[in-house]
Structure 1
Amino acid sequence: MEWTFMGGFSGLSICFDLDGTLVDTAPDLVRVLNLVIAEEGLPPTDYDKARGQVGFGAKALIVQACERAGHTISDARVSELWHVFIKLYDENIAELSQPFSGVEHILRDLRSGGAKLSVCTNKPGYLARKLLDELKLTPYFDRVVGSSDGVATKPSAQHIFAATGHRRRSSIIMVGDSAPDVMAARAAGVPIVLFRYGYAGTPADRLRADKVLRRFRELPESILSLSRPIAPI
């Protein structure tokens, strides 16, 4: 599939996933997960396995960590531990989390080139905004829309449109790391760029994205290489 954005980045809306795309949040998420499952008497979980499941959310992380430990847990107890997880994560959201290499530099270049940047994340919106604030990334984004913000989240196309603030498909591109990002982009009818370094359970090369990249610094050239006739607004 080919797409085009005329005039460099001017007029382009780039919608980013957060966890595993912009920021390596797994160290903090797994840190908190280990604190939570310790309440069940369980040892720290396997980091690499938990990292690959970050995209499924905190409840899934808790359930899967318990399953790996051979520990049976009720749905009611999972809900209790989820509240503990969110509280602990909120209290110290960026102890270990850092933007991936090149992120801030490239975000600055995209904005200076005329692009409008936004975040659509299945993380609760208030946590996403707090994380970006603490990492000093907030000024790069016009909107940050998460799961607590009253919109249908990925894989719904509505999440992308809410984050960009419009439905002009010919000027939108989605950037992420996992299947929900691809599904949302396809539902919205916009191109999707994926990064291999993210948290997808399925290798990015198998997800049929328009572009699959190894490093964030490759993003501007990749965007400019996409081609699609611009439709009238």
Structure 2
Amino acid sequence: MTHFEALRGASIAFDLDGTLVDTAPDLVRALNESIARFGLDPVPVDDVRAMVGRGARALIVRAFDRAGAVLEPDMAESALSHFLMTYGADIAAHSRPFAGVEAALDVLAASGARLSVCTNKPSALARQLMEALDLTGRFERITGPEDAPAKKPDPSHLLTAAGEGDAGRFIALVGDSEPDALAAQGAGAASVLFSGGYSEKPVSTLGADRLFDHFDDLPAMLAELAAGRRPA
């Protein structure tokens, strides 16, 4: 079989923030509007990129820690509420798919792969963002943390996103950070990590099966992995 034929029936799940879509510009916009109400200086977007994976509450906590400010519980709830309102009101003002994403998805779909999204972003926001960027129809399902028994790095999140299928099918998670690598490893799936994402740790230290710098390289990389894990 050719490499691309190895992808027929494969389940390829994608992380969302920092993998499919560069969401940091809108996240930092919402964060800075939320913390400005408490007199904090804006957080640079490059600082936010390494903070995204742990959720909105963690972003707010880190912003206060960065400023050396005390975050009382009622302040945290107020900031979180304002963040979610601000972010959701214009979720894709500046967020865009990373270069080459749509073309890579086209190749994978044409090869017969089954595509899904596996994200720790709240499900409603994930679906709203995907719809705003006209990406929803490219995927069989969008699986947020509320849609699975547990969120990444728990492997059940990936297995839920991958859906049912033949027991011997190839499963891979394309992501950008440690929760993605751990979820794939726990599920016995391949992990392919994007070097241009939002990882707190260097992606080269996370034990992924493959790393990639541009989405142009992704389909062939996944095909090679699939061919190596299936009988010819």
Alpha-carbon shift at residue 156 of structure 1 (Å):
0.8
SS at match of 1:148: helix
Q: Contact 1:9–1:110 at 8 Å: present in 2 too?
A: yes
- The aligned amino acid for 1:228 is R
Structure 1 pair 114/14, CA: closer, same or farther in 2 (3 Å)?
Answer: same
Identity score, percent? 46
| Correspondences of 1:1-233 after superposition (within 5 Å) | 7-149=5-147, 151-166=149-164, 168=167, 170-226=169-225, 227-229=228-230
Write out per-residue CA displacement over residues 30-86 of structure 1, whole angstroms, 9 at most, x where no aligned residue.
010000001111121132112111111111111111111111112332123112211
Q: Which amino acid aligns with 1:215?
A: H
Return the letter of the residue paired with 1:109.
V
- CA-CA distance at 1:172 after TM superposition: 0.8
Unaligned 5+ segments in structure 1 are: none
SS in 2 for 1:8: helix
> Match for 1:222: what amino acid?
M
- Scaled by the length of structure 1, the TM-score of the pair is 0.93
Compute the displacement of 1:150 (Å). Answer: 5.0
- Equivalenced residues, count: 227
Call closer, same or farther: CA 1:158–1:169 in 2, change over 3 Å.
Answer: farther
TM-score with structure 2 setting the length: 0.93
In 2, Cα distance between equivalents of 1:18 and 1:29: 13
Distance 1:46 1:214 in 2: 23
CA distance in 2 between counterparts of 1:53 and 1:73 reads 17
- 8 Å contact 1:126–1:148 — kept in the other structure? no
Structure 1 Cα separation of the partners of residues 187 and 4 of structure 2: 20
1:6 Cα deviation (Å)?
8.0
Please provide the CA RMSD for this pair. 1.7
Q: Deviations over 1:132-177 (max 9, x none)?
A: 1110111110000112335311011111111111273642111100
Higher-helix-fraction structure: 2
Q: What is the rounded CA distance, in whole Å, between the counterparts of 1:216 and 1:47 in structure 2? A: 22
- Take 1:23 and 1:175, find their aligned partners in 2: how far apart are those partners? 12
Does structure 2 conserve the Cα–Cα contact (< 8 Å) formed by 1:169 and 1:190? no
Q: Is the 8 A contact 2:27 2:87 kept in 1?
A: yes
Gaps of 5+ in 2: none
Distance 1:151 1:80, change over 3 A: farther
